[in-house]
Amino acid sequence: MKRILIIGSMNMDFVFQVHHMPAVGETVLTGDLTFIPGGKGANQAYAAGKLGGNVAMLGAVGDDEHGRSLCDNLASVGVDVSQIRRVQGVSTGVAFIGVNAEGNNSIIVVQGANRCVDQAYLEENHSLLEACDIVVMQLEIPLDSVMYAAKEAKRLGKTVILDPAPAVRLPEELYQNVDIVKPNEVELGELLGDPEAHRRLEESCKRLLDLGAKNVIVTLGGEGCCLCREDGQCKRFYADKTVKVVDTTAAGDSFTAAIALALAEDRSLEEAVEFATKVSNIVVTRKGAQTSIPSRDEVK
């Protein structure tokens, strides 16, 4: 199996259930609070590890209990955490996640140690970049670090997957070093500066291809996803409508991790998308981030 390197964020999630998301100036009461390991990078590493991948993680945590817990949780599913940075005097990143009655979420992230995933740290761990076959990144660490890692990975002939969240307008140079970019429908609009981009799905995907991305996968929640390849061919994949959604936290992260894992097993991109759809269909039926991720035996 090919080796996967996840470069990204590590957060402790503070998850609370709400009847509805608060409007500006509104106070909403809730009766429960759960601490769950999270962060987009850590979620993806945990998912790839639990699904049976050969996975290493580069990220940063504070020298605190939350950081130790996050590293221990990744190690429990076989992720190599030996080079995760422990930063003195900086707190581990945290995320405040509200989940409403329909299972949808809103998230506020305090970056903390995630800001310390800088180019110097990545250069110190260049051997991991050399040893892997697939590199997966997100945007909860400094953009300069993402740019460096993507360019260096492509120079080394690696497959680069970018989960562009939280989405911002990105330089063309980054797209040109990415093999797969995977926004959701909201992020697609942010990337293109067009809130209605999802209504012209194939056209919008092809705009990202024109910017330099080799393949685009847009996830559409309960409507599945759309894959547009570098040859301009697009294909829709549909989610299981019978699934009862409990919590969508980490559904996108698990989808990304499953794509990487399937490619590490030398499956085609279409097969990888089908596998990832099955994984995310399970994740949304469970609460939390890493707590919701299935084992390989659970994915039929």
Is 235 annotated in a binding site? The answer is no
Q: Does the annotation mark 266 as catalytic?
A: no
The helix or strand, by DSSP H or E, that contains position 234, with its residue range, turns out to be strand 234-237
What mean pLDDT is reported for the chain?
94
Q: What tens digit of pLDDT does each residue of 7-32 get?
A: 999 999 898 889 888 889 999 998 88
Is 103 annotated in a binding site? The answer is no
Q: Above pLDDT 70, what percent of the chain?
A: 100
Does residue 183 register a pLDDT over 90? yes
Residue with the bigger pLDDT between 167 and 291: it is 167
Task: Give the separation between CA 273 and CA 267, rounded to whole angstroms.
Answer: 10
Q: What is the mean pLDDT of residues 54-76?
A: 97
Name all domains of the chain by residue range, CATH numbers in brackets: 3-20+33-293 (3.40.1190.20)
- Strand 54-58 and strand 60-62: the pairing is unpaired
Show the CA angle centred on residue 126, arms to residues 172 and 162, nearest 5°.
35
Q: Do residues 278 and 300 make contact, with C-beta atoms less than 8 angstroms apart?
A: yes
Is 39 annotated in a binding site? The answer is yes
Q: What is the mean pLDDT of residues 64-80?
A: 97
Catalytic residue (choose from 32, 133, 253, 266)? 253
Is 13 annotated in a binding site? The answer is yes
Least Cα distance to 46 among 240, 268, 249, 218 occurs for: 249
Q: What is the mean pLDDT of residues 157-162?
A: 98
Q: What tens digit of pLDDT does each residue of 245-272 get?
A: 888 878 899 999 999 999 999 999 999 9
Model confidence pTM above 0.95: no
Least Cα distance to 107 among 201, 198, 12 occurs for: 12
Does residue 190 register a pLDDT over 90? yes
- The four Cα atoms 126, 52, 260, 123 give a dihedral, to 10 degrees, of -10
